[in-house]
Chain A
Amino acid sequence: AQSVSQHNHHVILSEAASLELGCNYSYGGTVNLFWYVQYPGQHLQLLLKYFSGDPLVKGIKGFEAEFIKSKFSFNLRKPSVQWSDTAEYFCAVTTGGFKTIFGAGTRLFVKA
C-alpha cells in the first residue's frame, strides 16, 4: 500500500536557522508531490508541488523542495526560517488514480 513518511514529528529552531524536513513515499508508479502548511487556527494551504520537469521546485515564502526519484524523497528546505514559519507541515502524494495521501505532519516551532 502507498504510504508517506515524515521523519521528524517536532522540530524546534531559532530564527535564521536553516530548515530541512524529510519526506519519503512508497509507490512504484508516477506520483505528484506536494507540501502543505497549516498555520495555527487556519486551513491547510499549498506551499509547493512537483509533477514533472526540474526536480528542484520553489514555493511560496522562500521554501523549496527537491524530488529525488531514486530515494523516493521530497524534502522541504528553507535557508533561513522566521518566527512566522511556526506551523505544521504536511507532505502529500497523489497517484494516478487521484488518491492523495498525507504524511503524519511535522510541527515546526521557531524561537524568536
Chain B
Amino acid sequence: SQTIHQWPATLVQPVGSPLSLECTVEGTSNPNLYWYRQAAGRGLQLLFYSVGIGQISSEVPQNLSASRPQDRQFILSSKKLLLSDSGFYLCAWRGAGLNEKLFFGSGTQLSVL
C-alpha cells in the first residue's frame, strides 16, 4: 500500500536560517506531488506542485522553493527564513488520474523566531 512520509513534525528555526522539509512517497510511481501551507481561516494555500522529476510549478511568489530530485521525493526549501514563513506545511500526493483524491502527510509545524 502507498504511504507518505513527511518530516520533521515540528521545527523551530531562527529568522535568516535555511529550511529543508522533506516528503517521500512509497508504494507508487510517478505521483503528482504537492506542498500546501494551512493557516486558520485561509484553508490550504497551494505553494508548489510537481507532475514529474524536475518539474515544479510555483503558485505563490515568496521566500520558498521546491525541488523534486527523485520520482517520489519532494523537498521544500528556503535560503533565509522570514517570520512570515511560520505555519503548518502539508505534503500531499495523488495518482495519475485527475479525479483521484489527495493523500496528505502528517504535516510540519514550522515556527520562525
Residues of A within 8 A of B (CB): 6, 9, 32, 34, 36, 43-44, 46, 49, 51-52, 90, 92, 94, 96-105
B46 interface neighbour in A49, A99, A105, Cβ under 8 Å: A99
Is chain A's interface secondary structure helix, strand, loop, or mixed overall?
Answer: strand
Among B57-110, those with CB < 8 Å from A are 57, 59, 94, 98-99, 101-102, 104, 106
Could you tell me how many residues of chain B have their Cβ less than 8 Å away from some Cβ of chain A?
20
A-B contacts counted at CB < 8 A amount to: 55
Within 8 Å of chain A (Cβ to Cβ): is B27? Answer: no
* A44 / chain B contacts, CB cutoff of 8 Å: 44, 102, 104
The 7 closest A-B pairs by CB, nearest first: A51-B99, A104-B43, A102-B44, A46-B101, A105-B43, A102-B43, A98-B32
Main secondary structure of the interface of B (DSSP, over half): strand
Q: Are B57 and A99 in contact (CB under 8 A)?
A: yes
Which of A32, A43, A51, A98 interacts with B51 by CB under 8 Å? A98
Residues of B within 8 A of A52 (CB): 99
